[in-house]
Amino acid sequence: MRIVYADNAATTSVSRTALEAMLPYFTEHYGNPSTIYSVGREARRALDTAREKVAKALGTEAKEIYFTGGGTEADNWAIRGTAELRQKKGKHIITTAIEHHAVLHTCKDLEKHGYEVTYLPVDEYGRVTADQLRGAIREDTILVSIMAANNEIGTILPIKELCAIAHEKGVLFHTDAVQAVGHIPLDVKELDVDMLSVSAHKFRGPKGIGALYVRRGLSLPPLLTGGGQESGRRSGTENVAGACGMAAALEESVEHMDENVKKVSAMRDRLIEGLLKIPYSRLTGDPVNRLPGTASFVFEFIEGESMILSLDAAGICASSGSACSSGSLDPSHVLTAIGLPHEVAHGSLRLSINECNTEEDIDYILQTLPPIIQRLRDMSPLWEDYIKKFKA
Amino acid sequence: MRIVYADNAATTSVSRTALEAMLPYFTEHYGNPSTIYSVGREARRALDTAREKVAKALGTEAKEIYFTGGGTEADNWAIRGTAELRQKKGKHIITTAIEHHAVLHTCKDLEKHGYEVTYLPVDEYGRVTADQLRGAIREDTILVSIMAANNEIGTILPIKELCAIAHEKGVLFHTDAVQAVGHIPLDVKELDVDMLSVSAHKFRGPKGIGALYVRRGLSLPPLLTGGGQESGRRSGTENVAGACGMAAALEESVEHMDENVKKVSAMRDRLIEGLLKIPYSRLTGDPVNRLPGTASFVFEFIEGESMILSLDAAGICASSGSACSSGSLDPSHVLTAIGLPHEVAHGSLRLSINECNTEEDIDYILQTLPPIIQRLRDMSPLWEDYIKKFKA
Amino acid sequence: MYSEKVLDHFYNPRNVGELPDANAIGTVGNPRCGDIMKIYMKIEDDIIKDISFKTFGCGAAIATSSMATELVKGKTIQEALSLTNSAVTDALDGLPPQKLHCSVLAEEGIKAAIGDYYRRQGIDPEPIVGCSFDCEACHKEHHEH
Amino acid sequence: MYSEKVLDHFYNPRNVGELPDANAIGTVGNPRCGDIMKIYMKIEDDIIKDISFKTFGCGAAIATSSMATELVKGKTIQEALSLTNSAVTDALDGLPPQKLHCSVLAEEGIKAAIGDYYRRQGIDPEPIVGCSFDCEACHKEHHEH
Ligand SMILES: Cc1ncc(COP(=O)(O)O)c(C=O)c1O
Ligand SMILES: Cc1ncc(COP(=O)(O)O)c(C=O)c1O
C-alpha cells in the first residue's frame, strides 16, 4: 500500500546523511569520549565536531551547546534548573497556555513545590502579545518560557520581541524551539534568548537526543548529576552516535532551508487551500506566521480519531488533538486555548509535511480526505441534526 | 596498528546483533510509538517487544521496565524520585563510599537540599557487610542505594543480602547494576530490589539508552515530565532504535552468559596472574567475587595516566583512576575508599575485557605492559629513591 | 492498538444509518466529550426487529455501536437490557484501557432507546431500564452521580 | 587531548635520567598529588651546562619536564629563572586546561634546582629565586599560601 507520511511534527524519518553520520560510532569509533586513548579520542573528536555543527546552525559557539536525551529533557532542565537557580529572587514563572506538555507539566509540577505560574492566554491564532507579557511580569518573576512555534497549530511566536521584554525586566527567557529548529531560520544571538531547547527527531535526526542552548555565563545547575560530562552540566556517557546524527541532520536542514521552506510551504498551502473547500472546515493557527510544514484544521461534526483511522486505512499518517486520540476526555489544551468549543476541537486534524513529501502525496491527501469526512459525517448524529435543522 | 580494546567497563562496541536490531527504526519504521497509524504501530510493537526482552533478561515483567536516557538518568531518577516520594517519612539515605558518581553526586546534591546521607565505608576489597548496613539504618532512613558491582575494581556486592536488611526495616532498596547487567546472572525478583539501574552501552548496546526497573506498586514520581510516555513515568519521545538495540544486546548477553563468563574470566585470570608478577603490583577489588571482565591493579612508583598513554601508543586501550586521568588532584574515590594511599592509588590501571577480546589480546597486554612499567619507573624519582634506600 | 475486530467494525460498521420506521430512539453521550451515540430500534412484540445507529466519536465508539447493534438485533427487550459493556468489549476482542468508557456508551445507548420505547407507550421506563441516560450532562459526569 | 608536541616529549623525553656530576638538584611536587619532579643541573660560570630530570607524573608532567629542561639547557641562570610556565606550555603547543598546573611544576622545578645551587654556595636563594619550593606540602596547597 502507498504510505503517505504526514505527521512530521510528531517525528521524522532519519535522513540518509544523519544515519551515515551515526554508523561509524556504533561499531568502529565506539569509544567513550571521556577517555584519552585512540578509540576514545575519535569519539571525542566526533562529539566536538557535532557540537560545533549544532552551535553553528543555531548561530552560536560550541561551548553554549549541551547535549541532552531529547527535547523533553532540555525543557525540564531549563525550567527546573532556572527555578532552582533563581529561587532566592522569586518563584514566579510565566509561560503560555499552548506550550508542549514538556513545558506545561513541568510548570504544573513546580506549582506543587511552591512556585507560581502564569499561563498567558492566546488569541484565536495562538498568539501572545508583548503587552500581555509585559503586564504579567512581576517583581518575583524568574523565568519566561515561550515556545518558538506550536506543535499542534504551527503558529510561530515573536520570540525576539517577547524575549526583549523579559530582559527589560531582568527576567531570564527560555524558548522551546523543538518545532522550529531546522525548519525556520533561527539565530540564538539574534533572538537573544538565554536558553533554547532542541530535539533531533523533529528534523530528521534520531530519537533520544536533543540539546539545550545555555547562554554563556548563565550557571544553570544540572538536572542529571554524575560523571560530569558536558562540562559538568549534564552527566551521563555521551550519546556520540546520536549527537553526530543530530548534527548532520541539522546541518543538512539549515543548508537546504531556503529551498525546503519554499517547497514545503507551497505544498502546505495546497493542502490548506484544497481542504478548506470542505464545508464546515477551518484552519487552526496563524494563517500567515506558521511553520512551513504544518497544515492544521478542524472539521465540524466528526471526531478526530475516526478521521485518523480512516486516513490510516488509506495509508496516510496524520494526527489529531481530539480527546480520544490523546486518551483523555478533553481535546488538546492548545485547541481549547485558541477558543474552539470542545465539540469542534474534537474534529481536529494535523497534517505535517516536510521535504520528503511530494506533490503526489498532496494530491493523494486532497483526494482521499473529503470522502472520508463525508462518510464520517453521514454516520454522525450531529450532522444529521444540523442538516435537519436547515431543512426545517 | 593493532588495537586491543580493554576498557569495556567504560563502554563497549555495539554488537552486530544490536546494530541490526536498531537499523530498521531509523529510516523504515521511524514512527512515533504514541501514534495510532501504521508507521507508529510498527514502532510501538518494537518498543513493546524491546521492553519485554529487557524485562525477561532481568527476571521480571515488561510493565516494571522504564526506558531512560542512560544509567545516569536511571540513578538520578531512582534516588531523586525516592527522596521526593518519601520525604514525609524522612530524609536519610544510605549508600556506599564506592558508588559511581551518578549515585554519589546525586546524593551530594540532595545533601544541599536538607537530606542526610551516610556513605558506608568499605573494606580493602570494596565490600560492605550486612552488619554495617543494619547499624546505619535509622528511623528516618528512606533509601538504601548500593551498587551491584563496582566499575573500577570489579567487586561484586551481596545485593540480595543487603536488600533483605533494608526491607526488614521497611526501607526501599535501589541498586546501580550498570556494571553487572549482561555480565553476571541477575534476577530482580530473586534479589528483591525495588529499583535497579541499567545502561545499554556497558553490554554492547548503544550509548544514550538505559532503563530503570521499578517494582510494581512503587509510585516513583517522574524525573522528566511532559507528554506522559512510559506510562506517565518518563516523558519524551521514546528512543525506539535505542531500546531495540539495548534489548537485542541484553538478550544476546544473557543467552551467551555462561560461555562468556567462562571465557572472559579465564582471560581475566591470565591477566591478573601475569601482571601480578610485576614487582610492587597489587590487585584491587575482591579477588574472588569480581566481575568476569575486570582486572584492576595498582603499580607503585608510577602514575596511571602515563601508563595509559604508553599503552595507547602500543594500541592498548585501558583506563586508570589516577588523579590526572580524572582531571582532579585526587585519585579516584574508590581507590582511596579501599584504603590505598594516594601515591599508590595514582598508579592504578583497569583492564576490562569482554567476549570480543582474544587470547592474543591477553598475550599482547602481558608482553607490552611490563616494559612500559619498567620505563616509567626508570623515569620516576620515587623509584630511584626507593632503590637507593635498599642499596644503602 | 485496536483489535482486528474493532477495526473491522469501524471500517465496515453494521447497521449504520437512520431507521425510518423506528419506534424507539435513544441518544447518549455529549459532543463536548467527543462521543455521542444515537440508537434507532424497531420493536415489535417485545422483539428488536431492526436496529441502527449513528455515532459521532472515535474508532472505539463507532465499533462498539456497530457491535452492540449486532448483539441485540432480533433479541427480546429483556435480552437487550441484559447486554453489558463487557459483553460488547469481549465480542470485539477487547479495547485499550482508555477506551473502555466507549463500551459503556453502547450499553447506555441500547437502554436509552428501550426507555424511549416504554415512554412512547406511556410506561415509566425508570423501574425497568434504570436511569434513562437522556440527561443533558456528559455521559461521563453522569456516571459520577 | 594532548598536542603532538606534548606526546612527542612524553614518548621521547629529552634529558631524562640522573646527572652524576650535578651541582644543583631540586625536587618539587608531592607523590600524594600525583606528580613529583626532580631536576638535576650542572652549572658552570652561571651557565646551565647540563640538565636532566626524573618525573613521577602524568603525560603533561613528563612532557613539561622534558620541554623545560630543553628550554633552559645552555642558558644562564638569569634566563632560566625567567622561564615561565606559560613559556613551557606555549613551547608544547598548549596543554588541556586541567593540566596547566603541571607546567607550573616545571617552572618550580627549575627554580628549586637553582635555589639548591645557591644554597650549596652558602647563598640564601630566597631573595633571588623566591620561594624555594622544597616545602613538604603538596605543590598545589603550596600555591595557596
Ligand atoms: C514543541 C515541543 N516541545 C517538546 C517536545 C518534546 O521533545 P521530545 O519528545 O524529543 O522529548 C516536542 C515533541 O515531542 C514538541 O513538539
Ligand atoms: C556503575 C555505574 N553506574 C552508572 C554509570 C553511568 O551510566 P551512563 O554513563 O550510561 O549514564 C556507569 C558508567 O558510566 C557505571 O559504571
ipTM: 0.93
Report the distance separating Cα B10 and Cα B7, nearest Å. 6
> Are C69 and C15 in contact, with CB atoms under 8 Å apart?
yes
Average pLDDT score over residue span D43-70:
96
Structure confidence by residue, pLDDT tens digits, D86-127: 999 999 999 998 888 888 899 999 999 999 999 999 999 888
Report the distance separating Cα B23 and Cα A26, nearest Å. 11
Chain A residue numbers touching D1 (CB-CB < 8 A): 36, 41, 44
- Does ligand 2 have an atom closer than 6 angstroms to the CB of B284? no
SS3 breakdown of chain B: % helix, strand, coil, rounded to 5?
A: 45, 15, 40
Please give the pLDDT value at position C139.
41
Strand pairing report for B92-96 and B116-120: parallel
Please give the pLDDT value at position C138.
39
Mutate-to-test residue for ligand 1 from A12, A73, A202, A332, highest number of ligand atoms within 8 A of CB:
A202
Ligand 1 atom with the shortest distance to the CA of A200 = 10
pTM of the model: 0.95
The answer to whether residue A310 neighbours chain B at the CB level (below 8 Å) is no
Sequence-separated (6 or more) residues with CB below 8 Å from residue D97:
none
Q: What is the pLDDT along chain A (392 residues), one digit of tens a residue?
A: 899 999 999 999 999 999 999 999 999 999 999 999 999 999 999 999 999 999 999 999 999 999 999 999 999 999 999 999 999 999 999 999 999 999 999 999 999 999 999 999 999 999 999 999 999 999 999 999 999 999 999 999 999 999 999 999 999 999 999 999 999 999 999 999 999 999 999 999 999 999 999 999 999 999 999 999 999 999 999 999 999 999 999 999 999 999 999 999 999 999 999 999 999 999 999 999 999 999 999 999 999 999 999 999 999 999 998 766 555 667 899 999 999 999 999 999 999 999 999 999 999 999 999 999 999 999 999 999 999 988 87
What domains lie within chain C, and their CATH numbers? 4-144 (3.90.1010.10)
Q: Is the pLDDT of residue C133 over 70?
A: no
Report the distance separating Cα D46 and Cα A211, nearest Å. 59
Ligand 2 atom with the shortest distance to the CA of B199 = 10
Q: Sheet harboring D47-56: ordered strands across? A: D24-30, D35-44, D47-56
**Nearest alpha carbon to residue A249 among A193, A209, A215, A214:** A209
**Residue C102 among the catalytic residues:** yes
Cell of B82: 525516592
> Are A232 and A222 in contact, with CB atoms under 8 Å apart?
yes
> Are B325 and B319 in contact, with CB atoms under 8 Å apart?
yes
Average pLDDT score over residue span D38-44:
97
- Does ligand 2 have an atom closer than 6 angstroms to the CB of B71? yes
Q: Is the pLDDT of residue B110 over 60?
A: yes
> Are B183 and B294 in contact, with CB atoms under 8 Å apart?
no
**Residue D102 among the catalytic residues:** yes
Report the distance separating Cα B269 and Cα B266, nearest Å. 5
* Model confidence band, residue B157 (pLDDT cutoffs 50, 70, 90): very high
Q: Is A308 helix (H, G, I), strand (E, B) or coil?
A: helix
**What is the largest distance, in Å, between two alpha-carbon atoms of chain A?**
83
> Are A368 and A311 in contact, with CB atoms under 8 Å apart?
yes
Q: Name the β-bridge partners of A295.
A: A351
Catalytic residue among B163, B244, B317, B324: B324
Strands (E), chain B: 4-5, 65-68, 92-96, 116-120, 141-145, 172-176, 195-199, 210-214, 281-283, 294-299, 316-317, 348-352
Q: Is the pLDDT of residue C134 over 90?
A: no
Report the distance separating Cα B83 and Cα D88, nearest Å. 49
Please give the pLDDT value at position A324.
61
Q: Name the β-bridge partners of B195.
A: B174, B214
DSSP state of A149: B
Report the distance separating Cα A191 and Cα A173, nearest Å. 10
The answer to whether residue A219 neighbours chain B at the CB level (below 8 Å) is no
Cell of A292: 512551513
Report the distance separating Cα B158 and Cα B165, nearest Å. 11
Alpha helices in chain A (DSSP H): 16-22, 24-27, 38-57, 71-85, 101-111, 130-136, 159-168, 188-191, 240-255, 257-275, 304-313, 323-326, 333-337, 342-345, 359-379, 381-391
Report the distance separating Cα A116 and Cα C84, nearest Å. 46
